[in-house]
Structure 1
Amino acid sequence: MPFPAKLSRDTILQTAMTLVEEGPRTPGEPPDAPLSLRSLADALGVRASSLYRHYADRDTLDTAIADEGSRLLLQQLQADTRALSPEDAMRQAAHTYLRFAHSRPRLYALMHAPRPLALSPEGPGKDLWRALLNLVGQVTGRQDDTSGVVAFWCFLHGFVALEASGQFGASGPAGGFERGLDALITGLAGTGSNIGAGRDPVTLD
């Protein structure tokens, strides 16, 4: 059987992204069900086996989707934080991150699903990490401030996860995001030696 000329790695990825964000189409399937390779093949009009000519296995495809999500998030972070002071950039980055998670919940969930670390040692996910490392470092005045980035990311992802699970209850977070963000930025800024005005605007490029 001739290989379909219309099929390419990028076509598969973009179709998979669309299906992930639309959610399952099978009646009764839970909203967080993983993408079905059969439904992906059907959407592309090919046999499921054809997908493996471009993606060796399911983990490879999921990693590609997660990498594309990281690329899109980084792109938005760069646009939203450009020319801001370090603390303002960090605050805006937090809101951009939260908005991304709210607007693309299924993609966000896949981006944070467990997967073999060795599949993508470099790429958009690593670029996103480096951008956040630079962002936090501008606030703390420390190069490669891994602990600061971990604290920032844990705060953001923890809030997203608790909110998505309904753990905040009917009252909602009650201003907890802003209060936690204020405390985190103040604490991180207090660990640095360049606190105060006069610092150059931050860039994530």
Structure 2
Amino acid sequence: MPYPAKLHPGTILSAARQLLEDGGPEALSMRPLAERLGVQPSSLYRHYADRAALLSALETEATLELLATVQAHAAQATPAASLHAVGLAYLAYARQHPHLYGLLLAPKEPYMATPGPGKDLWNAVLALVDAVTGQPDDTAATVAVWAYLHGFVVLERSGQFGLSGPRGGFERGLQALIEGLGRKGGDAGPG
């Protein structure tokens, strides 16, 4: 197969995303990707060093899309309504793009947050949570929100809710979490 002059990173990433979305991470490897694009696998390495580089680029794409989703749903009448709308949109994104979202859940080594899409996404959620709690840089409350969102998605993806599904549990839990965070900075502890 000849080296196509129009092969560029965006074309490769789009085809890689389609393979991932259609068949999960197992379906994404350089050979099937090259076949889909009608090129030799070696042509891909001019743009992406390996499969890990492709997965990293797709994870960045997912993070940017999730950030856009958060930003698009953040302008509600109240901070609590904004956080609620973002939570629902977040779950919808995870359901619509399960394999792409799954890249965000892949185990990673602990790292220092550096500027970039992941930090931008964190800061967008942090700002929403801060508005609800009334506390600047409320990391603890933001971690609680992240844990709830990610945790629900993981439970749902793994089938832990059984055939009956979560039966409104996401909405109820999200509402309770937001209400709890809104009480004097979320300091209403047990007892």
Q: Which has the larger displacement, 87-96 or 150-159? A: 150-159
Quick one: distance in 2 between partners of 1:154 and 1:160? 10
| Alpha-carbon distance, 1:69 to partner | 0.9
TM-aligned CA distance change 1:191 to 1:13, over 3 Å: farther
Match of 1:17 in 2: 17
Partner residue of 1:123 out of 116, 131, 140: 116
Structure 2: gaps (5+ residues): 187-191
Establish whether residue 135 from structure 1 lines up as the match of residue 128 from structure 2: yes
2:74/2:128 contact within 8 Å kept: no
TM-score, length of structure 1 as denominator length: 0.81
Match of 1:169 in 2: 162
TM-score, length of structure 2 as denominator length: 0.86
Post-superposition Cα deviations, 1:82-125, rounded to whole Å, max 9, x if no partner, equal: 2431000000011001111111111111232234566x943222
Partner residue of 1:180 out of 156, 173, 177: 173
| Alpha-carbon distance, 1:3 to partner | 4.7
TM-aligned CA distance change 1:43 to 1:2, over 3 Å: closer
Match of 2:189 in 1: none
Q: Which amino acid aligns with 1:41?
A: A
TM-aligned CA distance change 1:108 to 1:142, over 3 Å: same
Partner residue of 2:79 out of 86, 89, 93: 86
Q: Which amino acid aligns with 2:68?
A: Q
Structure 1: gaps (5+ residues): 24-30, 194-205
TM-aligned CA distance change 1:35 to 1:117, over 3 Å: farther
| Alpha-carbon distance, 1:192 to partner | 2.6
Quick one: distance in 2 between partners of 1:57 and 1:115? 18
Establish whether residue 72 from structure 1 lines up as the match of residue 65 from structure 2: yes
Partner residue of 2:32 out of 39, 61, 64: 39
Q: Which amino acid aligns with 1:161?
A: V
Q: Which amino acid aligns with 1:43?
A: R
| Alpha-carbon distance, 1:55 to partner | 1.8
Quick one: distance in 2 between partners of 1:11 and 1:108? 20
Q: Which amino acid aligns with 1:82?
A: A
1:15/1:40 contact within 8 Å kept: yes
2:130/2:137 contact within 8 Å kept: yes
Quick one: distance in 2 between partners of 1:181 and 1:137? 16
Establish whether residue 152 from structure 1 lines up as the match of residue 162 from structure 2: no
Quick one: distance in 2 between partners of 1:107 and 1:63? 11
Q: Which amino acid aligns with 2:26?
A: A
TM-aligned CA distance change 1:164 to 1:85, over 3 Å: same
Query: Share of identical aligned residues, percent?
Result: 52
Which structure has more relative contact order (CA 8 Å, sep 6+)? It is: 1
Establish whether residue 53 from structure 1 lines up as the match of residue 42 from structure 2: no
Superposed CA RMSD: 2.4
Q: Which has the larger displacement, 83-92 or 175-184? A: 175-184
| Alpha-carbon distance, 1:32 to partner | 5.5
